[in-house]
Amino acid sequence: MGNIGHLNCEPGTHSSKSKPDPNHSEASRIERDLSSAPHQVGYMDDADPPMIRRAAGRIPHVCIVGAGVAGMRCADILLHHGAKVTIIEGRNRVGGRLCQSNALGHVVDLGPNWIHGTEHNPILDLARQTGTLTMNWDGRQAIFDSVGKQMEEGETAKNEEVVWEIIEQAMKYSNAESATIPAQKSLFNFFEEKVQGMFPDDKAKQETILQMAEMWGAFVGSPIQTQSLKYFWLEECIDGENLFVAGTYEKILKKIAESARKADLRLEHKVTKIVSREEDRRPRVSVELEGRRSETFDEVVMTAPLGWLKRNLGAFEPELPGRLKEAIGAIGYGHLDKGDKDIEEMRKGLPEKGIWLAGEHTAPFVALGTVTGAWWAGEGVAKRISKAWSLKEPE
């Protein structure tokens, strides 16, 4: 996953569209996935019964492991529905990847510093509410060729337009033909085919476009030669502009943390094991802590980063099912091969055992690896738990 590489439009044009209708025949897989996500307005009022239903009539005690964006948003929604919430965080602060430093006399973000997409993006809403300064780039770039010579501005613009045109074509092709595209075919292979057709008699032009195309790999975190064309549709992003958070995420983080601090927040509490068992035909989940007594809850929401899950598969007792372990192991930064099924598996979690997963890695496809994705993932799990317990929003 690499959110900066998610495609939304050609730089400098930033075309946008209205919120998609999931039933519309032209809606992409990304749009259908987003429209059906549990964070959406109306999920709690949906007449469809939840996949998991708990005994109504009492207030559940939910433990959220991790006080990042997903964890704090999850806590906010659960508290709003009347649940009892405990947040356990290993660090001495909240925010997860969102953190700042003023060590050099000026506050800078040490984690994310972009807002990816401006259409229906709750993080942009928070930026506006808090008066956080954002800015967008005008698309101009200085490009140097393979021998260090700077391209002329006009040539740069034309070549860049070709690169983004091919990327958009690849996105549409991947979305429409994913089922028939060979698994070994890369985005680079697609570029090779396109430049040969566009510039059949200009080998130098072909080489230039292919070299510029390799910059895409720096965006998404893996070389374009290994970027799967079959699953390239997963790189689509929220519509609108990509905004740089010039004012840092500091005020946004404080705003997100306001309601979460109403929960029982335990900082510097490190989780070592999650033990699930059945008691009176319902799950009970014990959380074991480093140097502290274990505690037991009705539900546990794991918002630990994907890397932590990969390194600590043995922290779950009983052992996680094979398919879920495979899904956790398969997903990596900039590597989404077969990622749709793996991400869907992680989204499911193990609600029958009282264990739920939430984070950037379980977000709607359109927001994977982003702050927005973490927010939506936390909200979605909170609503699923609230619906399972028949919790209602206050009038």
Do residues 350 and 264 share a domain? yes
Question: What percent of the chain shows pLDDT beyond 70?
Answer: 89
User: What's the domain count of the chain?
Assistant: 2
> Residue 332's pLDDT is what?
67
Please check whether residue 59 lies inside any domain of the structure: yes
Do residues 162 and 195 share a domain? yes
Do residues 168 and 186 share a domain? yes
pTM of the model: 0.84
Tell me the average pLDDT of the chain: 87
Do residues 260 and 381 share a domain? yes
Please check whether residue 25 lies inside any domain of the structure: no
Residue 236: strand pairing partners? 7
Phi then psi for residue 281, to 5 deg, are 65, 25
Record the tokens describing residue 115, joined without a space: 């807002």
* Matching residue, tokens 């510093």: 113
Query: Where would I find the H helices in the chain?
Result: 29-35, 69-80, 122-129, 153-177, 187-198, 203-213, 215-220, 250-260, 306-311, 322-330, 339-348, 371-388
Q: How confident is the model at residue 4 (pLDDT cuts 50, 70, 90)?
A: very low
Residue 278: strand pairing partners? 283
The parent domain of residue 62 ranges over: 37-98+250-388
Return the number of other C-beta atoms located less than 10 Å from residue 340's C-beta: 17
* The pLDDT of residue 245 is above 50: yes
Asked which of 27-41, 52-66, 193-207, 333-347 is least confident by mean pLDDT, the reply is: 333-347
Do residues 238 and 269 share a domain? no
> Alpha-carbon distance 77 to 54, whole Å?
18
Asked which of 47-56, 164-173, 253-262, 311-320 is least confident by mean pLDDT, the reply is: 47-56
Record the tokens describing residue 9, joined without a space: 């439009």
Q: What is the pLDDT of residues 133-189, one digit of tens each?
A: 999 876 677 899 888 999 998 999 999 999 999 999 999 999 889 889 998 999 999
Q: What is the pLDDT of residues 319-356, one digit of tens each?
A: 999 999 999 988 765 555 556 788 899 999 999 999 99
Do residues 269 and 320 share a domain? yes
Please check whether residue 328 lies inside any domain of the structure: yes
